[in-house]
């Protein structure tokens, strides 16, 4: 389609949606009653009598109502399927042609981005879910869980370890009514509507958005940490503040397989503490004192974790001795872990 034809189509659809001050109210009122005179329409709405005729003629011009030129003039409702039939076809064609014209912008340029529109926030949320290779942590509303259910199931099938916090928990379906195991390893529900929407993929790519950002509210914003180590702030907040104050809906289902990769030490420690047994670990990170990159390997000989996950660390027995491992911005341990890979020691011994 030529550019001028696409512009004409876009303008045509735009005109059909260009309701004035009173058209929407008038149209819904006419639909509800089926047939009204101009006077009756004015009585049932806040449309001034002098504006009624212009309003209904505008609706007639775009094919949403029928005017019966009698005395008094009557306004008749048209079946919406009929009224919007041509518009739906036109809109489908328009979207198809716009999609062919669309050039996807690069969105991975800025390390930190502030976004303020609901569609943009939802797009980044979707992108973060898709980007997770081994670990996904989410704080969602029940509606968002339903919206991304298929993608979350795909991630579970790919072996991505997933934790989901749902709020308000009272609106989340019960474990007997919903197959949470298909979308997550662990699920918790949190009371109230104050919980933000949060997503963290592999401990690095993350989103923090206010609940208002998904409603028609002026106070809407989201912050994206794109491939940034700053993302640990979001995962730490999710672990310490949100996850620790939520009720268990689904505990780990016992199907953890190894080897496994972790983006956050808190999740690694939680799994090892829960499962028990002998494990080996390969840690890539930085020396806490010098800041130099370090990689260590060995048996995990100690696991430390507080109930609320505010403290989590490992001790790994290497050929050079024992090394303590903490999460990002660690201070007391020897190494700040940036990438954690764990395997069962007995399985390793067999190989």
Under 8 Å CB-to-CB from 328, ≥6 apart: which residues?
A: 203, 229, 232, 236, 336, 337, 338
Residues in the chain: 351
Euclidean distance between CA atoms 314 and 155, whole angstroms: 27
CA distances from 285 to 33, 137, 263, 279 (A): 69, 21, 11, 19
What is the fold of 3-100? Arc Repressor Mutant, subunit A (1.10.10)
- Could you tell me which of 254, 243, 226 has the C-alpha nearest to residue 306? 243
Domain boundaries, the chain: 3-100, 112-250, 260-350
For 121, the enclosing helix (H) or strand (E) is: helix 118-131
For 12, the enclosing helix (H) or strand (E) is: helix 3-17
Euclidean distance between CA atoms 230 and 110, whole angstroms: 13
Euclidean distance between CA atoms 64 and 16, whole angstroms: 10
Residues 264-300: pLDDT tens digits?
888 888 888 888 889 999 999 999 999 999 999 999 9
Euclidean distance between CA atoms 123 and 132, whole angstroms: 15
pLDDT of residue 328: 82
pLDDT of residue 254: 53
Reduce the DSSP state of residue 246 to 3 states and report it: coil
DSSP E strand stretches across 121-259: 135-140, 161-166, 186-189, 197-201, 205-209, 222-225, 247-250
Pairing between strand 161-166 and 186-189? parallel
Euclidean distance between CA atoms 159 and 51, whole angstroms: 62
DSSP symbol at 105 = P
Euclidean distance between CA atoms 304 and 91, whole angstroms: 58
Under 8 Å CB-to-CB from 65, ≥6 apart: which residues?
A: 27, 30, 56, 59, 75, 76, 77, 78
Reduce the DSSP state of residue 329 to 3 states and report it: coil
Q: Is 207 exposed, middle or buried (0-12, 13-18, 19+ CB in 10 A)?
A: buried
Euclidean distance between CA atoms 16 and 11, whole angstroms: 9
Euclidean distance between CA atoms 288 and 281, whole angstroms: 19
Task: Report residue 88 as tokens.
Answer: 């739906």
Which region, left, alpha or beta, applies to residue 248 given φ > 0 means left and ψ of -120 to 50 means alpha? beta
Ranges of residues in the chain whose predicted pLDDT is under 50: 1-2, 109, 348-351
Does the pTM surpass 0.95? The reply is no
- Residue 211 — φ and ψ, nearest 5°? -60, -30
Under 8 Å CB-to-CB from 255, ≥6 apart: which residues?
A: 185
User: Among 3.40.50.300, 3.50.50.60, 3.30.565.10, 3.30.870.10, what is the CATH number of 112-250?
Assistant: 3.30.870.10
What is the fold of 260-350? SH3 type barrels. (2.30.30)
> Looking up tokens 């208002």, which residue turns up?
212
Residues 73-90: pLDDT tens digits?
889 988 888 877 766 776
């Amino acid at each position: 389609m030529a550019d001028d034809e696409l512009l004409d189509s876009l303008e045509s659809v735009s005109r059909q949606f260009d309701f004035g001050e009173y058209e929407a109210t008038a149209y819904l009122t006419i639909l509800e009653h089926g047939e009204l005179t101009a006077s009756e329409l004015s009585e049932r709405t806040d449309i001034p009598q002098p504006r009624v005729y212009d309003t209904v003629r505008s609706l007639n011009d775009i094919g949403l109502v029928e005017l019966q030129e009698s005395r008094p003039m009557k306004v008749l409702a048209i079946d919406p399927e009929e009224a919007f039939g041509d518009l739906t076809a036109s809109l489908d064609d328009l979207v198809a042609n716009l999609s062919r014209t669309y050039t996807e912008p690069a969105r991975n340029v800025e390390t930190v981005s502030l976004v303020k529109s609901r569609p943009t926030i939802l797009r980044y949320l979707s992108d973060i879910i898709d980007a997770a290779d081994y670990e996904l942590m989410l704080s969602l509303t029940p509606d968002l869980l339903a919206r991304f259910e298929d993608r979350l199931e795909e991630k579970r099938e790919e072996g991505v370890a997933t934790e989901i916090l749902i709020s308000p928990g009272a609106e989340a379906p019960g474990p007997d009514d919903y197959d949470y195991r298909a979308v997550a390893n662990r699920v918790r529900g949190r009371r109230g509507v104050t919980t933000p929407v949060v997503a963290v993929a592999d401990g690095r790519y993350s989103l923090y958005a206010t609940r208002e950002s998904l409603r028609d509210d002026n106070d809407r914003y989201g912050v994206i940490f794109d491939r940034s180590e700053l993302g640990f702030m979001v995962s730490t907040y999710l672990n310490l503040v949100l996850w620790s104050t939520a009720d268990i809906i689904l505990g780990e289902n016992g199907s953890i397989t190894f080897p496994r990769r972790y983006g956050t030490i808190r999740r690694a420690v939680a799994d090892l503490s829960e499962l028990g047994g002998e494990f080996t670990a390969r840690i890539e990170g930085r020396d806490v004192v010098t800041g130099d990159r370090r990689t260590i390997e060995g048996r995990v000989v100690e696991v430390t974790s507080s109930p609320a996950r505010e403290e989590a660390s490992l001790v790994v027995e290497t050929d050079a001795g024992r090394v303590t491992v903490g999460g990002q911005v660690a201070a007391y341990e020897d190494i700040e872990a940036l990438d954690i890979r764990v395997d069962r020691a007995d399985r390793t011994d067999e190989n």
